[in-house]
Each structure stands twice: as C-alpha cells, then as structure tokens.
Structure 1
Amino acid sequence: MNIRVGFGYDMHRLEEGRELWIGGIQLDYPMGLQGHSDADVLIHAICDALLGAANLRDIGYHFPDTAPEFERIDSKVLLRKTVSLLREQQYAIGNIDATLCAEKPKINPHIPSMQAVLSEVMQIPVDAISIKATTSEKMGFVGREEGITAYAVALIEKR
C-alpha cells in the first residue's frame, strides 16, 4: 500500500468590496478575502495539501498569481485541476482534514454546505471531508479581524 500525507496552509487579508468565498460557497459578510483569484483560503490550503502529498509542488507553481487567466478565477476550478493532476499520477484521495481560523464570520453553520460542494468538486464522499472552525482568541491578525487562515491535511493513495 502506497499512501502519502500532505499539509497545506493559506492566509488572506480581509478587505472591503470583495465577496467572501470559503470552501466553495459565498458567505454573507461585508468583507471578502484579498487575492488574485477569489481567494478561497480553504480551497487553497486543500490544493496545497493534495499537491504536497503527491510531491507536485504547490498551488502557486501550477496557478501563479501573475497569470491573467487565474485572475478572479473560481477556486473550485483550481481544485478540480488539482484533483486531475493527482489522478494523472494515479493517486486517489483518501480524506481531507481542514481547520479554518476566523473571528468573524461564524464558520460552523456553513460547514455542511462546504462539505457538500467540496465533495462534488473532488468526487469523494462527504464523510471524507472534515472541516473544523476556530478563532485565534483575539490574538494576531486573525484576532484583529484582518484576515482568515486555513490549514489542511490530505491523505492520498496510489492506485
């Protein structure tokens, strides 16, 4: 059995005038995350975890923030392309375990919707996607409500 584990981390600054996309869904919040794409911090961390597990470098390598074709792109497209890269290397996704860190908005009510969307995009069962939410207890840039971070671990298996 050839299994691998990868770790992903991402952070984005909150800014006014942007939509807030996390886990493939839009949240109703007066600020969004700053970035070249839609800045979906959770999807970006998951992509990095998957790419790292397969030793395929990172999200910035495959989808650079200097490339005009990725400007304002829906991060679900990036995740689909990431899953395709893994499948080309004969890897299947075992499970994802992720944590979002934000003071606001509250993430917990949205977790089932995020799991459903990510399950469809990655073509894996909903119960293979764990998403947890926490705060930073008012410490650091997350605590000051300046940004949101996400951490993800992915297990993949060679077919």
Structure 2
Amino acid sequence: MPDIPPRFRARVRHEPDRSYAVLVDGPDGEVLVGATGSLRKVRTVAREGAARLYGVTAERVDEEYLDMVIPQPPYGRDGQWVRIISAGESAAPDDLVDLGKVGQAHWFGHEGAWFVTVTGSGTAIYPSEYLDFAPTVTDEEVAELRRYLARSAPSPS
C-alpha cells in the first residue's frame, strides 16, 4: 500500500455534456477517478477516488488537504449572455426567482462556477450545469439588463 501524501491534487475536466470528469494524482500519476453531473459532488468524487488510489478509507482523505483545480469551461466566456435553466434540487423561492431569466456571466475560478448578474436580483453564483450558454435572447431582455447594469455601476468620481 502506497504512503498517503499530506495533500491530494485533483483536477476537473469539463465534458461537452456539462458533466465534470474528476482526475486525481495517485501513486502512478493522474487518474480519472469518476464523473458527476453536479459541481457540488466533485469534491466527494475526488476524495473517494483518492482513497481508492491509495487503498484507504475515504475518511483518511481529509477534504481540507484536497487541492481542487476547476478551470474555466471551454463552452463559456466572461461577459457572455446565459439563461438560468435550473435551480438544482432546491425548491426555495429565493432560488427559483431567477429561473428562466437571462443574465451576464463571469467566471469565478475560486468557486469553479459563474457569477451571473440578472436584472432586478443582482449577482449570484451558478454552476455550469444550471446555465444555458447559447440562449435565444430578445432585444428587450438585452436592453433591460444593460439598463440594470448601467444603474448598478458606480458613478465616476
């Protein structure tokens, strides 16, 4: 059984279907340990995969010592229009308020997700699987969001 390293390195690869392939550095190099359709589950997949690679229980792989790298997906770019198509498993009214709305997205690498600004409700963080990156956007939606962004921008001093 290989020694357990003090830190584990994991990397996410964005798949064309917007799922996440999880790769972990093991004793024999980087290995694909699993995939998930949920950003919330990538750390669990990485932790369990590292445990398998090193022949230990998942409890021995402390999430605090897991370095996760989630690059910006190839299908999204900063400043692009997106439509919010899911609230995940949440049925909370606050999570459903922006469902179906158009917003402007910017990559937030630290979270491995997107900051999306929506007219009226501001900016929230969304994982890629909650967004349509090729939405049909009306002229009215574009004008409304541009007006909202212009009102929200700090005035020059």
Higher relative contact order (CA 8 A, sep 6+): 1
TM-score when normalising by structure 1: 0.29
Which has the larger helix fraction? 1
TM-score when normalising by structure 2: 0.29
- The structure that has the greater radius of gyration is 2
